[in-house]
Amino acid sequence: MLAIKHAPNEPIELILLKMNSKEYSITNNMYHFVEETHKVPSFVNVHLKIFYGKLNVDHTEAECTRISHLSHCSQTEDLILTCSSKECSVCKKSFSTKSTLKKHLLLHSNEKLFKCAICNKSFSSKHNLKDHLLTHSNEKLFKCGFCNKSFSLKVRLNRHLVVHSNEKLFKCSFCDKSFFYKGHLNSHVHVHSDEKPFKCSLCNKSFSQKGQLKTHLLMHSNEKLFKCLICNKSFYEKGQLNRHKLVHSNQKLFQCSDCNKSFSRKDHFRTHLFVHSNEKPFKCSLCEKSFCTSSLLKTHLVVHSNEKPFKCSFCSKTFSWKSCLKNHLLVHNNKILQCSVCNKSFCTKTSLKTHLVLHSNEKLFKCSVCNESFSRKSCLEKHLVLHSS
């Protein structure tokens, strides 16, 4: 394993400078006594030249054992034979120079000779190690020309640029949802299966995605590291904070083509669209009740369990949902929500919201039979009974 000797707290820039020096480009930490593996003497020379950069290697300075080296040689014997042809015998990829082929061959041998002196992570090429070292520095040299976001690696910038192209090439074969990255698609596919391979060690709750488990674990720690600078509200994830920030901006980029209602968040906009379509794709397996969003289904499922995890600190009353606890706390705090138009009072935010629709001329709930519209869902449901009778 290659390592750079450096002083404690030595700057990344100096370490990178050492990497560019000639002395670092030669490794002398492996045995060259490989006659048992390489039957032809010329193969030994080719091998030494490829992996060590020179023919004479001082084996007394070696850190690894002869056995491990021989094991490595037996795996790479076939790779060395193709050096003269400039074509990789494993994947048939061709190269313009021998040096690029040499670097490529290391990828097929599971050998990671280049070691980071800071975190001990190992890499198969010097180039990859150099890239990795930049992550330890605070320098972000690669800047996005669209949103001014900066990255320490060019490969990360390239990955980010896909977002600005609006091309979501990776499509889910189950639900037509598309993704910018293959990794995101792979994570999403678990949602459609009953598999929940990611299990919480604290409460045995299982998740279909690793990210969901990570977020869940933060709930056990009660750590909300991401804080909004405007209203001091805290969040478990950076993504949650970013979505929340849109609330403080007056930008409502997502507009409904049916009723011209605008939304600052895409997920709120998508949920709203179900109002017009009357689609309820998320079905409860216990009572066959359907919902327009997966989050509403999740909320509903609590009804079937006897769990009431949300407890009032004033009167010890328990609730199935956090929203119910919040509404209940208004009673203890004597907080009354008042309509700004008619001064009518309500004890819950939802009741006030429902009431406010009456003051607007919006009639979002449309009858699919006679096209009559209603301001309340309950009014539409009553109206539909007339058609059924």
More confident residue, 372 or 42: 372
Share of the chain above pLDDT 90, in %: 0
pLDDT digits over 25-50, tens only? 333 333 333 333 444 454 455 555 44
Average pLDDT, integer, range 287-291: 83
Q: Hey, what domains does the chain have and what are their CATH numbers? A: 12-136 (3.30.160.60), 170-248 (3.30.160.60), 252-301 (3.30.160.60)
pLDDT digits over 99-131, tens only? 778 777 777 766 777 888 878 788 877 777 877
Structure tokens at 75: 């795996």
Residue 67 has pLDDT above 50, yes or no: no
More confident residue, 110 or 185: 185
Grade residue 17 by pLDDT with cuts at 50, 70 and 90: low
Average pLDDT, integer, range 183-205: 81
Average pLDDT, integer, range 308-327: 82
Average pLDDT, integer, range 195-220: 82
Please give the backbone phi and psi of residue 151, each rounded to the nearest 5 degrees, phi first.
-135, 150
Highest mean pLDDT among 8-17, 46-55, 235-244: 235-244
How is 338-383 classified by DSSP, letter by letter? E-TTT--EESSHHHHHHHHHHHS----EE-TTT--EESSHHHHHHH
Structure tokens at 167: 């091309």
Measure the CA–CA gap between 313 and 115, rounded to whole angstroms: 53
At 83 the pLDDT is 41
How is 109-166 classified by DSSP, letter by letter? S----EE-TTT--EESSHHHHHHHHHHHSS---EE-TTT--EESSHHHHHHHHHHHHT
Residue 357 has pLDDT above 80, yes or no: no
More confident residue, 47 or 314: 314
Grade residue 208 by pLDDT with cuts at 50, 70 and 90: confident
Average pLDDT, integer, range 96-100: 77
Residue 87 has pLDDT above 70, yes or no: yes
b/e burial code for range 315-347 (CB count within 10 A of at least 16 → b): eeeebbeeebbebbeeeeeeeebeeeeeeeebe
Grade residue 203 by pLDDT with cuts at 50, 70 and 90: confident
- Which range among 54-68, 175-189, 215-229, 314-328 shows the weakest confidence by mean pLDDT? 54-68
Average pLDDT, integer, range 340-356: 79
At 4 the pLDDT is 45
At 287 the pLDDT is 84
Average pLDDT, integer, range 344-367: 79
At 31 the pLDDT is 34
244: DSSP letter: H
Measure the CA–CA gap between 358 and 53, rounded to whole angstroms: 81
More confident residue, 195 or 229: 229
